[in-house]
Amino acid sequence: MNAIDTFDAGVFRRIAGRRSLDPRLPMDIAACRPHVVVLGELILDGWWSGSIDRLCREAPVPVFDVLNREYSPGGGANTAVNLAALGAKVSLLGLIGDDDGGRLLRRLLTEAGVGTRGVITVPGLRTQSKTRLSSEDQLLLRFDDGARRRAGTAETLLLGQAQGEMVAVAREVLPDSRAVVVCDYGQELLPLGLASELRSWAPQNPMFVVDAHDASRWAPLEPDLVTPNAAEAARLAGRDVETDRRVDWAREVAPIILSRTRSRNVVVTLDREGTVLVESAGAAEGAAQAHRTWAHPVPNKQASGGGDTFVAALTVAAASGLPLRLSADLAQVAADVAVHRPGTAVCSLRDLSDRLSDIPGKVVDPGTLMREVSVARAHGLRIVLTNGVFDVLHRGHTSYLEQAKELGDVLVVAVNGDESTRRLKGEGRPVNRLEDRTALLASLRCVDYITVFHSDTPIPLIEALRPDVYAKGGDYQAGSLEEAPVVERCGGRVVILDYVPDYSTSAVVRRIKSRR
Question: What predicted TM-score, i.e. pTM, was given to this entire model?
Answer: 0.79
- Give the per-residue pLDDT at 401: 92
Residue 267 lies in a domain: no
Residue 381 lies in a domain: yes
Q: How many domains does the chain fold into?
A: 1
User: If pLDDT is split at 50, 70 and 90, which confidence band does 2 have?
Assistant: very low
* pLDDT tens for each residue of 4-21: 334 454 555 455 445 567
Residue 318 lies in a domain: no
The torsion angles phi and psi of 19, rounded to 5 degrees, stand at -130, 10
**What does the alpha-carbon distance between residue 254 and residue 241 come to, in Å, rounded to a whole number?**
12
In Å, what is the CA distance from 74 to each residue of 68, 93, 183, 348?
Answer: 19, 14, 11, 16
- Give the per-residue pLDDT at 268: 97
- Give the per-residue pLDDT at 497: 87
- pLDDT over threshold 70, residue 475: no
Residue 163 lies in a domain: no
**Mean of pLDDT values over 238-267:** 94
* pLDDT tens for each residue of 128-153: 999 999 998 788 999 999 855 555 56
User: If pLDDT is split at 50, 70 and 90, which confidence band does 339 have?
Assistant: confident
* pLDDT tens for each residue of 61-114: 999 999 999 999 999 999 999 999 999 999 999 999 999 999 999 999 999 999
Q: Nearest to residue 382, comparing CAs of 466, 484, 451, 474?
A: 466
Residue 97 lies in a domain: no
- Give the per-residue pLDDT at 508: 58
Residue 377 lies in a domain: yes
- pLDDT over threshold 50, residue 308: yes
Average confidence score pLDDT of the chain: 86
Q: Does the annotation count 436 as an active-site position?
A: no
- Give the per-residue pLDDT at 502: 54
Q: What is the CATH number of the domain that holds 425?
A: 3.40.50.620
Residue 343 lies in a domain: no
Write down the catalytic residue from 99, 211, 224, 308: 308
Q: Nearest to residue 275, comparing CAs of 254, 296, 247?
A: 247
- pLDDT over threshold 60, residue 338: yes
The answer to whether the CB of 157 falls within 8 A of the CB of 124 is no
Task: Give buried/exposed letters for 67-101 (b at 16+ CB in 10 A, else e).
Answer: eeeebbbbbbbbbbbbbbbbbbbbbbbbbbbebeb
Strands, E assignment, 98-253: 115-122, 129-135, 138-145, 179-184, 207-212, 225-226
For 510, the domain range is: 360-514
Give me the DSSP letters along 423-464.
HHH-TT--SS-HHHHHHHHHT-TT--EEEEE-SSSSHHHHHH
- pLDDT over threshold 90, residue 466: yes
291-293 β-sheet, strand order:
115-122, 89-97, 35-40, 179-184, 207-212, 225-226, 265-269, 275-279, 291-293
Task: Write the single-letter amino acid at 193.
Answer: G
In Å, what is the CA distance from 286 to each residue of 111, 134, 245, 254, 336?
Answer: 46, 45, 17, 10, 28
- pLDDT over threshold 70, residue 501: no
- pLDDT over threshold 90, residue 399: no
CA atoms within 13 A on the CB side of 311: 36
**Mean of pLDDT values over 173-187:** 95
Kindly state the DSSP code that residue 238 receives in the 8-state scheme. Answer: T
